[in-house]
């Protein structure tokens, strides 16, 4: 198992080009199953998760290849509608092929998904919506087996999600795009990644109103056609590198990104004392002195994103004062706290609340990455510690950060991968 060796104490500064969004690319890749001709998708990050989904789609008979950051797929000769456990178990987003397969072919057999152990993320909302559209759903031996009603097409319906679900919204709008009739969805997720998928579906010929709002109306069409589309910038990667500037009195310029995707995070950075400047496709964070303590409450979009909670907590560990962080999205997303405390942080957990009392500096230590986003918080902490730290189980970071070592080195981090 690979590890990172990081020698601090670094001032994190420089320019870094942001890759395409992992959380947007995965549903867009799944959507390439929908048309019966060629689709071209640009700005696809090179990650374990995107590689896994490409393998999954190829196993269904799709002619798919990745050339640099571009994926070309031709789904006219899909041979099966099966997503095996061996691939699906490694990441949760694999469940998104369920909506695409059920919408286009009227049937699917998809393993229940795996991924990070950050809390319960059930797929019951996905399945309830498909049943409302007339599908027969059977969960058996760890697999979801779904069939459309007689005639092979789902039926439009009115459906309200019991809770806001990004994956559920994405799965259902893919299926509804090819359903018979009109589907009205209430309590939809409004995240930029959901908007990106809806925009790509429209480019394929789907008819969707209310994109970016809690209510979406999808008028089903007979078929979708291929298109050429580009994945939005990764807002979480952007925020992660900018956070490094706040932790190290640094100066980080992120390019090929958008401030429109990151408003709640940038506001917190400013509240902590950073100078934030932005342009059409860049964001710069400059930090002088120690960060100020802030309170953070994770919420669904447009609130503060849960995927930035661990990185902001690492900044709060070095802040002047006491910060309060409330995690409202996942019940098990404080697993990085013991690891940060091993590095000298002062964090106390009370249920879904973390009370973070700032310390002067991190101390080097051997630590273990516990999930995708937490792994970056440990990397940044190690970069700011005075000495050598070893970070184990970095396969988590490989799932979500494209070309991470090279980018960190360009920002002045002394990092080396130790092959397991």
Active site residues: 116
Cα(198)–Cα(102) distance, rounded to whole angstroms? 17
* Cα 5 from Cα 415, distance rounded (Å): 6
Surface-to-core class of residue 277, CB atoms within 10 Å of its CB (0-12 exposed, 13-18 middle, 19+ buried): exposed
Burial state string for 294-314 with b = 16 or more CB within 10 A and e = fewer than 16:
bebebebbeebbbbbbbbbbb
For the chain, first and last CA: distance in Å?
A: 4
Cβ proximity of 43 and 279 under 8 Å: no
Q: Return phi, psi of residue 229, to 5°.
A: -145, 160
φ, ψ at 70 (rounded to 5°): -115, 135
Helix residue ranges per DSSP H, 106-224: 124-132, 166-176, 192-203
Classify the phi-psi angles of 351: left when phi > 0, otherwise alpha if psi is within -120 to 50, otherwise beta: left
């Amino acid at each position: 198992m690979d590890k990172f060796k990081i020698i601090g104490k670094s001032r994190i500064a420089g320019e870094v080009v942001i890759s395409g969004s992992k959380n947007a690319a995965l549903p867009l890749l799944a959507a390439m199953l929908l048309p019966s001709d060629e689709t071209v998708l640009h700005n696809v990050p090179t990650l374990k998760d995107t590689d896994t989904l490409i393998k999954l789609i190829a196993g269904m008979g799709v002619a798919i290849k990745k050339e640099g950051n571009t994926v070309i797929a031709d789904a006219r000769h899909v041979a099966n509608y099966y997503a095996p456990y061996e691939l699906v178990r490694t990441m949760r987003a694999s469940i998104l092929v369920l909506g695409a397969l059920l919408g286009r072919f009227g049937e699917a057999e998809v393993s229940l998904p795996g991924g990070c152990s950050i809390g319960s993320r059930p797929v019951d909302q996905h399945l309830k919506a498909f049943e409302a559209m007339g599908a027969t759903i059977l969960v058996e031996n760890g697999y979801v087996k779904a069939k459309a009603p007689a005639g092979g097409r789902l039926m439009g319906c009115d459906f309200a999600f019991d809770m806001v679900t990004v994956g559920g919204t994405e799965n259902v709008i893919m299926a509804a795009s090819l359903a018979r009739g009109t589907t009205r969805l209430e309590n939809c997720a409004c995240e930029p990644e959901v908007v990106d998928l809806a925009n790509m579906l429209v480019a394929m010929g789907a008819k969707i109103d209310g994109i970016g709002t809690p209510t979406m109306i999808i008028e089903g069409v007979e078929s979708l056609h291929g298109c050429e589309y580009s994945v939005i910038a990764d807002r979480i990667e952007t925020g992660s590198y900018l956070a490094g500037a706040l932790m190290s009195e640094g100066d980080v310029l992120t390019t090929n990104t958008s401030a429109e995707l990151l408003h709640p995070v940038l506001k917190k950075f400013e509240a902590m004392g950073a100078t934030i400047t932005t342009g059409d496709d860049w964001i710069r964070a400059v930090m002088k002195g120690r960060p100020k303590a802030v309170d953070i409450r994770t919420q669904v979009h447009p609130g503060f994103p849960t995927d930035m909670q661990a990185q902001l907590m690492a900044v709060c560990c070095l802040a002047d004062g006491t910060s309060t962080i409330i995690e409202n999205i996942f019940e098990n997303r404080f697993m990085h706290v013991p690891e940060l405390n091993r590095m000298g942080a002062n964090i106390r957990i009370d249920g879904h609340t973390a009370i973070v009392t700032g310390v002067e500096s991190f101390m080097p230590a051997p630590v273990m990455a516990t999930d995708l986003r937490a792994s970056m918080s440990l990397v940044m902490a190690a970069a700011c510690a005075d000495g050598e730290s070893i970070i184990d189980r970095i396969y988590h970071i490989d799932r979500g950060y494209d070309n991470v070592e090279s980018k960190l080195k360009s920002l002045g981090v002394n990092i080396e991968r130790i092959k397991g």
